[in-house]
Each structure stands twice: as structure tokens, then as C-alpha cells.
Amino acid sequence: MADSSKPKLQVSAIRNGTVIDHVPAKHLFKVIAILGLDKITTQITFGTNLESKKLGHKAIIKLSEVFFKDEDINKIALIAPHAKLNIIKNFKVTEKSEVQVPEKIKGIAKCGNPNCITNNDHVNTAFYVLPKDKEKVALKCHYCEKITDPEDMEVF
């Protein structure tokens, strides 16, 4: 039975830090890898498979005492283009923003082409981010010029 009074699932609040909302649930672990959250020592809480009208299932990440530079957080736009950021200071949201798709990304993902120089020699990867359609982007390898779909990309 639908019950509008049912309390929403709450992930515990943080005093200072960043909340990343509207991450597609299926890409949560990629987002963790891209942002290097596995190396962070402050408190992090994750919620995943939460219901979302827009995404079906979404994930939310709350990071205590962590603030990102734009160039770092924008890397997740490849797989989480609708992600929203809330900056929390003293339990209050002081700033809201959305991720922006970068023009070029360096060194976070593998090129999907096995015959690419970056998969065969010590060469860091670099991609141009091209708009594919309204919702999606494609990654064009700076070296081999082949297209990698962010959905299939392997994160280092």
C-alpha cells in the first residue's frame, strides 16, 4: 500500500563536508574510484538503490570534511551527468551546484582500444569529451582517436 507518511530513508547528517546526490546507483562504485574515495580517512556514508523519479535508482554520498576542486568533481560528470553537490557548513547547506562535463580528461580511464599506444606503452591516457546526445557523452582518445563509451569505461 502506498503510504505517503512513510519516513524517507535518511543517511545520517554531516556537520561539514560535501553531499553528492543523484548518482546513478549502477555507477556508484565507479564514482568512488574516480574520486579516490577509497583513500579518504574521514567519515563517509553511502546510500544506494534509493528511489529516484529521474534516475530509477540513485545513490548518495556524504563526505565529512571533504571539499572538491571543480576539476576533480567534474570528472564524475561522464557517468553521473545529473549529480548535484551540496556543500555543508555547520549542518547547513551553504552552496548548491551541479557537475559540469569537462572538455578534456586525463589519466582516469583506460582507452577501450586494445591496440592503442596507451594500453601498450607507458603513456598516460587523455580523452576529448564529445557530446553524443542530450544525455550522453563519448570519449575520444587523444592518441588513437577511437571512441570509448563512458558506460563501459574502465577506471584506473
Partner 1 sequence: MKDKSLISIDDYSKADIINTLDRAEDFERNPHQPLLEGKVIASLFFEPSTRTRLSFESAISRLGGKVIGFASKDSSSVQKGESLKDTIKTVNNYCDLIIMRHPLEGSARYASEVADVPVINAGDGANQHPTQTLLDLYSIRQTQGKLDDLNLFLVGDLKYGRTVHSLLMAMSNFNTTYHFVSPPELRVPEEYKMFLKEKKLKFHEHTDFTDIISDADIIYMTRIQRERFSDPMEYEKTKNSYVLRNSMLEGTKDNLRILHPLPRVNEIHDDVDENKKAYYFPQALNGVYTRMAIMSSILGL
Stretch of 49-57, 63-71, 82-90, 121-129 contacting partner 1, by CB under 8 A: 121-129
Where in 90-149 is the site for Zn ion (CB under 5 A)?
A: 111, 113, 116, 141, 143-144
**Nearest residue (CB) to Zn ion, 43 versus 113:** 113
Instruction: State the binding partner of 74 from Zn ion, partner 1, none, CB within 5 to 8 A by kind.
Output: none
Q: How far is the CB of 110 from partner 1 (least distance, A)?
A: 13
Choose, by CB under 8 A, the member of 45, 48, 64, 113 that binds partner 1. Answer: 113
Best CA proximity match to 40, nearest among 13, 71, 67, 2: 67
Nearest to 54 by CA among 21, 78, 87: 21
Choose between 78 and 99: whose C-beta lies nearer to partner 1: 78
In DSSP terms, 63 is beta-bridged to 18, 44
The reply on whether position 12 binds partner 1 by CB under 8 A is: no
| Residue 155 per-residue DSSP state | B
Residue pair 118/143 in contact by the 8 Å Cβ criterion? yes
Q: Which residues contact 132 (CB under 8 A, 6 or more apart)?
A: 138
Q: Kindly list the residues in this chain that would bind Zn ion in the complex (CB under 5 A).
A: 111, 113, 116, 141, 143-144
